[in-house]
Amino acid sequence: MSHGKLREEKTCLNCGHYVEERFCPHCGQENIESRQPFYFLFTHFIEDFTHYDGQFWRTIHYLFTRPGILTKEYLAGKRQLYVAPVKLYIFISFLTFFLPNILPHAKEEAEKPSHIKKETKAKNQKDISKDIVKDLQKGGVMSNETANATQKALDTLKIEDGKEKTELFDSTFDPKEASIMHAYSMKQYDSILAKDDTGIYTLMRPIAGKVFELKEDGYSKNQIWEKYKENFIHTIPKALFVYLPIFAFFLWLFHNKKKWWYFDHGIFTLHYFSFLLLAILVFIVGEKIASFLPANSLLTLLYILACLGLGLYMTIYFFVAHHRVYETKKRISILKGSVLFIVNYIGLLLMFLVLMYLSFIMLH
């Protein structure tokens, strides 16, 4: 029920029937003034989900703390007490998309450009080597000619930082490293690609091309990864929505076709995916809060433990919800749940790998 001002006239604006109280007995429309203050648009939107009678909060409470109960209640016909599954999924998707953009994030101390850090470290390594050569020369271990030749070699030596301690992909996806697959430009990348016979450089070429393109537009490597992370988070609700009918199809395959309709599996999937989005939203909000916490503090440790606990709960949640809704014996439920979990885990993993690739290629 909204807090809009009631009309003095008792004729429904929608169907023309007589309205005794607040709502029309014929069509159900609320008999309020057609013109309201601007803020009414926002309050009405929120009220539509919260309903002031606790419908929204009851739904969220059951969704997060009582796996499978919402699905059982809905399939049993108790539908006025809770937010409808599709409506719930859309609203939580909206929150997951919108909330991360408005929450502040602690600014990290600016890092020196990686090429400067490399040059500094290389210079330090050369200086140390030169000092050693001088000591050897003074001690008579190394002749003057040998020392001079060594000094010249050190002056022309190019020391590559991180080559021994980082792998190819580690340096590529490290925001502090300037190179992409050990290349600093697309021309250099293509020259390495021409000599590569593993196929890795061919596979990574679109990603390398996008990174170098964005760097030419003025983005640093760190900014590119942050932009990609933001873009990827925004596409998670869409990806889950696309996978929703596939998830429901696997449920349909593993259960009695006469007892359980595809519609029933769809309701279970909507509630389960709504929970997953809600858990992801908690992770995102937690990460934003944790960015303001001091490093290596007790609060940071508690945050890490909370994340681990939530991750474990997300796994257990499916098995509990599956057992409650489909009411099979525990062993059968665990067996079916395990197979379904593994199959859908692989399916979601493949979808997210494709999503990660496309999200990066579509960056602009």
pLDDT band at 246 (very low <50, low <70, confident <90, very high): very high
Q: pLDDT tens-digit profile of 38-83? A: 666 666 666 665 554 578 888 999 999 999 999 999 999 988 889 9
Mean pLDDT rounded to a whole number for the chain: 78
Q: pLDDT tens-digit profile of 43-54? A: 666 666 555 457
Structure tokens at 157: 């030596």
Q: pLDDT tens-digit profile of 108-148? A: 544 444 444 444 444 445 455 556 556 655 655 556 666 56
Question: What would the DSSP string read from start to end of 148-216?
Answer: HHHHHHHHH----TTTTTS-HHHHHS-TT---BTTBSSHHHHHHHHHH--SSHHHHHHHHHHHHHHHHH
Q: How far is CA 347 from CA 123, 252, 253, 340, 344, in A?
A: 49, 16, 15, 10, 5
**For residue 258, pLDDT beyond 50:** yes
pLDDT (mean) for 208-228 = 81
**Residue 231's pLDDT is what?**
76
**For residue 316, pLDDT beyond 90:** yes
- Identify the residue whose tokens are 């909000």: 285
Q: Is 310 helix (H, G, I), strand (E, B) or coil?
A: helix
Q: Is 30 helix (H, G, I), strand (E, B) or coil?
A: strand
Q: pLDDT tens-digit profile of 151-198? A: 655 555 544 444 443 456 666 667 677 777 778 888 888 888 888 777
**Residue 346's pLDDT is what?**
92
pLDDT (mean) for 28-32 = 82
pLDDT (mean) for 23-52 = 71
Q: Is the separation of the CB atoms in 212 and 185 below 8 Å?
A: yes
pLDDT (mean) for 239-244 = 86
pLDDT (mean) for 244-248 = 93
Structure tokens at 330: 């525990």
Find the distance separating the first CA and the last CA of the chain, reported in whole Å.
44
Question: Lowest-pLDDT range, 153-162, 194-203, 215-224?
Answer: 153-162
Q: Is the separation of the CB atoms in 214 and 224 below 8 Å?
A: yes
pTM: 0.67
